[in-house]
Each structure stands twice: as C-alpha cells, then as structure tokens.
Amino acid sequence: MSKLYRRFDALQAVRKAETTLTARNGSGILDMNIAKIFGENCLSMDTLKERLPKSVWKILKKTIRDNAPLDFEVADAVAVVMKEWATEKGATHYTHWFQPLTGATAEKHDSFITPNQGGGAMTQFSGNDLMRGEPDASSFPSGGLRPTFEARGYTAWDPTSPAFIIENGRGSTLCIPTVFASWKGESLDFKTPLLRSVESLNKQAMRALKLFGEEDLKWVNATGGFEQEYFLIDQEYFYRRPDLMTSGRTLFGAKPPKGQELDDHYFGSIPDRILSFMLEVERELYRLGVPVKTRHNEVAPSQYEFAPVFEKANVAADHQQLTMIMLKKIARKYGLVCLLHEKPFAGLNGSGKHANWSMVTSRGANLLEPGDSPHDNMQFLFFFTAALKALHDHQGLLRASIASAGNDHRLGANEAPPAVISAYIGEQLDDIVEQLKSGKAKTSKEGGLLGLGIPVLPTIPKHAGDRNRTSPFAFTGNKFEFRAVGSEQSVSFPFAILNTAVAGAIDEMTSALEAEIENGKDLEAALGVVLQKTFSEIDKILFHGDGYSDDWQKEAKKRGLLNLKTTLEALPCLTEKKSVALFEKYSVLSELELEARLEIYLEQYFIKLNIEAETTEDIVRTMIIPATIRYLNEILAVNDRGKSSGLDITSTRTLAEEVNTGLSQLIVAVAKLGRVNEDLGGDTIPEKAQHLAQVVLPEMNKVRELADKLEKIVPDDFWPLPSYREMLFVK
Ligand code: ADP
Ligand code: MG
C-alpha cells in the first residue's frame, strides 16, 4: 500500500533529466554568433530606418525621441513595414503586449488574415491595428476604475519600446509593446506611469541642466539594469508539490541537514544541465535584443542570477518582463521549473531583483558619474543629492512600491535589505556630505573648484562607494542600486515612483538654486547653499552600519525613519496626501488611479494568502494526515503482533505515542486553520486582507511547524511531498 504514496525519487529524477535533455534538445553547440543573432527577433530602429520611406522615418524618429504625437498615415506606413518584417520571420499573428496590474504580461493574438472577395484570403495589418487594440478586458484588475458593464479597456502602441517576435516550434507571433488604459484614459497597467514618470524626470532634469550651462541637450532619461535571482528545480518535483503549483513557494518542508551553510554554491561552478539552460536563455534573449551579460550561482543551493547591461528604463522594464518569460519557458525544455517567487524555500535565502538606476542625457552622459572636472562634479553632486532627497522625502512610497505577500518573507529577514528605507553612499562620499553640511570644504591639492580660490564644494573622489549588502539603496560608484525589489515583481512601479520622487526633488532644488543665483550668487556658491540646506534636512536617511542589526531598528526609530515591516503597513502610503500631491503635480498618476492601485494590491495580497491557506489545508488533510496515519497503523501492527509473540515493545509504543501526539496536534491545528480561513474577517478588501495577515497567516505557520516535525519522523517512502534535500540538490 505504501508504494502508492511513494513519491518520485531522486535517482529517477536525475536519470530522467538526462534523457529529457538529449531527447528534447539534441546535443550540440548553439549558434552564438552574437553579431549575427543579436536583435534578429526584435524590430530595431535601424531596421525601421532602412525599410521606411525617409519622410515617414523622420516623423517616427521625432515621435520616439521627443514624445511627439503620431498620425495615422505614419502609423499605416510603419504597420506595412512591421507586417513585412514579421511575416519574413514566420509570424502569422500579432498581439498587443501589455502589462496589466497583475504584474504579469498579457496578450491576445489576432491573425493577419483578411478574407477577400474571391473566397481566398490575404494578410493585412493597418496603422489602426498597430496603434490601438481593444481586448475584452473585463477580467483584468481595475480597482473599480472600469465597472464590468463598460468593460472596455484599450491598448495603445508604445513606439519607444521595439516590437519583437515570440517563436513557438509551430509558428511565430509579432508582439507590440503597448500601454493599457480604461476608455476614459485612466491607466490600468504598469507601463503608463513609468512612461509618464520618465517624462516628468526629463522635464525637471533638463530645467536643472540649463543652470549648469547644458543648453543643447535633447532629453534626459532614466536607466535601469536589473539583476534577476531565481531558483531552478527538477520539474518532476514541482508537479508533486501542490504548494509550488498554486502559490509558487513551499508551504511545507523540514530544513535539510545541509542548506547554504557551507557557502559552497555561491559563485560555484555551474552544473551542466543548468549551464545548458542558461546558454539557451541567453541565446533567445540576445535574439530578442535583450543584452544579458552576467550569470552565476547565487547563495542558496539551486539559486542563480542573470544580469543584463543597463538600458533606458522603459525598454529595460520590458526586457525584464521578457527575461522572466524566457526563464520560465526555457526551463521546461530542460526538465526544470524556474521559481521566481521571493521565498520559495523557508530557511534559505530568498530571491530579489536588484534594480540599478541612474539618469542619462541625450549625449550619453551618466548624471551620477562623478566627473573629471570640477564643473562635472557640481552637476554630479546636484543629481546625487536629489536622488537621496527623493528617497528621504518618499520613503513610504518606495517601500510601498515593493510591497507584496511574497516580498514580506524577504524584507527584514537577515538576507535581504530591512524594511527601513535608508541609503548607503560609502565613507568617502559620506565625508563629503559632512563637508557640505558644515559649509566648509577641505582644501584639496587641486586648489578648489572652478579656480575660484577657496573651494565651496569639495572634490569628489573617483570610484567612490564600496559595498554594504545590508542597505536597501546603495550608491555603487555611478548608479544607485535599489535592492529591496522582489524577484517576481515588475520593476516598472518602483521605477515610476523613483523617477517621480527624483523629479520632485530636482524641481525643488532647482527652484532654490535659481533663487540663490537671482540673489547674486555664482553657481558654485549657490549650489553650496542648496546642498548644505538639503543635506541638513535629509541626512537621517544615510546609514552605513549593519542594516540587519537590532541596533539599526532602534536607531532608525530614534531618527524618525519609517519602518513598515509588512505589505499591509506599507501600501496605505500610496494614497497619503503627500503621495497624491507628488503624483498629481507631475501628472504621473491621479488620485483615482492611486486609489485603484491600492485596492488592487490589497486584493492581490488577500487572494494570494487565501490560496496559500487553502492549499495548506488541502495538503495536510489529503496528503500529510493520511501518510502519518499509515505509519501509525504500521507501528500499531507491530505493537499488536509483538505482544502476542512476546516481544518487548515498550520503545515501539513510545514511538507510536510520539507519532500520535504529532498527528493529533496537526489535526487540531488544521481544523482551526480551516475555521479562521472560512471567516472572511469583514466585507471590505482591507478588512479581509488584515484578517488574513493577522489571523490566518499565524495559524498557517503553526500548521507548517507541526507538519515539518512529522516529516522528520514519518518514513521517507510514506512522505508524500518531495523533500528540500531532493528539490535543492538534484541538478
Ligand atoms: P555591481 O557589481 O555593482 O552590481 P555591475 O556593473 O555588475 O555592478 O552592474 C550591476 C547592474 O547594474 C547591471 O545590470 C548593470 O547593467 C547595471 N548598471 C550599470 N550601470 C548602470 C547605470 N548607469 N544605470 C542603470 N543600471 C546600471
Ligand atoms: Mg549589484
């Protein structure tokens, strides 16, 4: 009988993996001729330029560079080129590819087919098809922005992100990046606020740069580079774990004797099957024009990372979504499943997505790069300070931007940044901040800035900024690294918030600078005053110690920094007065759109936890309790037969008692979980979410603890769930 419940064993998994690999992929070297394959499945600006009539290309270029409106004639011409290019690549269908507030991407495919009068058919794709789509979108979350009776939402082409081809062994589809909005124009997606925020950053940064004498720049954009962490496990195990299938994380699992303690996985040599997988992911991403660059093993067993070369924020965010899609898709070809959840395995490191951020000008200058000349350094100090001011002024918003049920497991544990938002800038820059605050720069060998004699501003060392992995927001030489973003999250919202907050800070500081200059100060002296004032207001955000320590929790409280430990504490920041004012001032999100977002995020939180609780109950009732009873039955059989054959069965009896106690406790606990989970805790979404967080989650944790104890007693061949040891060490 026990055989029925015997789960897939490790040996079989390894053997099967090898056969899967060769059967599905054959063997052989992938064509990695980068010059040839890079971007071949992505409609680049170069290809468009080559294929479009010159006059049309000029207008399109203007649209893309300067955000100018696009008319339908131009769109028609682009559509023709796009369709030609896509059909050459084997595409029969197209889809508007968008990013609804579920955090995933969405697509609805339409064929190019148009029947003609003679009874045949041809392919067609118009400017209208390109510019606008109307998916029946009643099932996407809208937070009340779009009642179902007027369920129309529409998608609109985003020409700033290139179209691309998604291949399938049987055919291909043209994907057109689009925004998604209600028919009244309210944003229902992640892309719209990101695009709007880039525009607000552009405006404010350009205004500031004029003061620094930069007259002929065309634009400023945000840049992003995202380090994606993920786990890979054999798919045989995945399908035997209902918890992984429904919630992306293990809701049970006793800690294995060996976890990540030996640090023998981090940067270790990459196992063969995994490396094959990585090579294929890289090849497919190259073909889509995604510049992935770095790959390595991460800290936890079976945890890995990919990082691309940074790009403009909007394109980078789309490419980040494509990276997640490809990781999941290609893993299957290797008999693996890619887990993007923030905490798939308790007791091991979770996965994050370090979001590297900076600003770039149309001339290609990085505004956070300390320069060679004193003038460049003034500019650097201005933008560097603005970013820190943004962080200080909108800590709550940034914390809210990364709040999710999954990320709650990570933030605050001693592996990921704490929930307190602070910045690390390195000792050298910290010293400079001290000099700025005191208004007295140390004289440096170079004799001050701009040859004005006594320096007002200090000189910036090159390559400032070292490492502190415990900080959520670290300056790493020429960019900030926002480390609290979760592995599964869209990077668009954190970036939209960051861009908007920085636009606000630049705005304020530029006005202050203008006022000082009007009062007769030269630029350097004026900047000295503005920086001194700004840093004296915001320096509590700077922290260089151990972010994981208890001392920091106390110190942060003393400094008056926010410490929003959970999603439900963080999310309300979205609709605070200060946040609404910021978003409305820069036309990034309206109050209505913010309220809708708050509701959607709360609802997602609620639904996710609810699924976890129900899955916990199911697994215990239908897998763990039956397995334990079978074991108890076997021990009791020994007891009975032992007695009649005159054996001393005292110890077996003790064992039976131990199993029985564990079993009874589990039965009681799961009954309680069922009861509290049935209760909704209220009628509104916030009430339901609070109920899950405060009542259901603790009961779930209790059930897990009891079940994990049983996993250590019940025989391996009775236990119905693949163990941590198997999932993490079969590669
Ligand atoms: P680190 O070791 O500090 O993490 P890397 O050079 O490996 O530094 O960069 C990590 C990530 O930061 C990469 O994805 C990279 O593309 C990105 N990055 C580098 N410079 C910038 C920048 N100016 N803006 C945004 N992202 C950047
Ligand atoms: Mg990094």
The number of the ligand nearest the C-alpha atom of 226 reads: 1
The number of the ligand nearest the C-alpha atom of 387 reads: 1
What per-residue confidence (pLDDT) applies to 6? 53
Distance CA 229, CA 124 (A): 41
Mean local confidence (pLDDT), 572-592: 97
Q: How confident is the model at residue 482 (pLDDT cuts 50, 70, 90)?
A: very high
What per-residue confidence (pLDDT) applies to 183? 77
Distance CA 375, CA 209 (A): 12
Looking at per-residue confidence, does 444 or 113 come out higher? Answer: 113
280 C-beta closer than 6 A to ligand 1: no
Distance (Å) from CA 294 to ligand 1 centroid? 10
Residue-range domains of the chain with CATH: 32-189 (3.10.20.70), 197-602 (3.30.590.10), 603-729 (1.20.120.1560)
Mean local confidence (pLDDT), 650-676: 97
Q: Is the pLDDT of residue 384 over 90?
A: yes
E strand spans, 108-160: 109-111, 113-115, 121-123, 132-133, 153-157
What per-residue confidence (pLDDT) applies to 265? 75
Ligand 1: residue of 309, 360, 469, 479 to mutate (most ligand atoms within 8 A of CB) is 479
Kindly state the percentage of the chain with pLDDT values over 90. Answer: 72
476 C-beta closer than 6 A to ligand 1: yes
Distance CA 408, CA 341 (A): 11
Q: 183 CB contacts (<8 Å, ≥6 apart)?
A: 146, 150, 152, 153, 154
What per-residue confidence (pLDDT) applies to 363? 94
What per-residue confidence (pLDDT) applies to 617? 98
Q: 690 CB contacts (<8 Å, ≥6 apart)?
A: 568, 681, 682
What per-residue confidence (pLDDT) applies to 364? 95
- As a whole number of Å, the end-to-end CA separation of the chain is 30
Ligand 1: residue of 305, 356, 498 to mutate (most ligand atoms within 8 A of CB) is 356
SS3 content of the chain, % helix, strand, coil (to 5): 50, 15, 35
SS3 106: strand
The total of other beta-carbon atoms located within 10 Å of residue 180's CB is 25
This prediction has a pTM of 0.94
The partner residues of 294 in beta bridges, in order of sequence, read: 307
AA identity, residue 595 = E
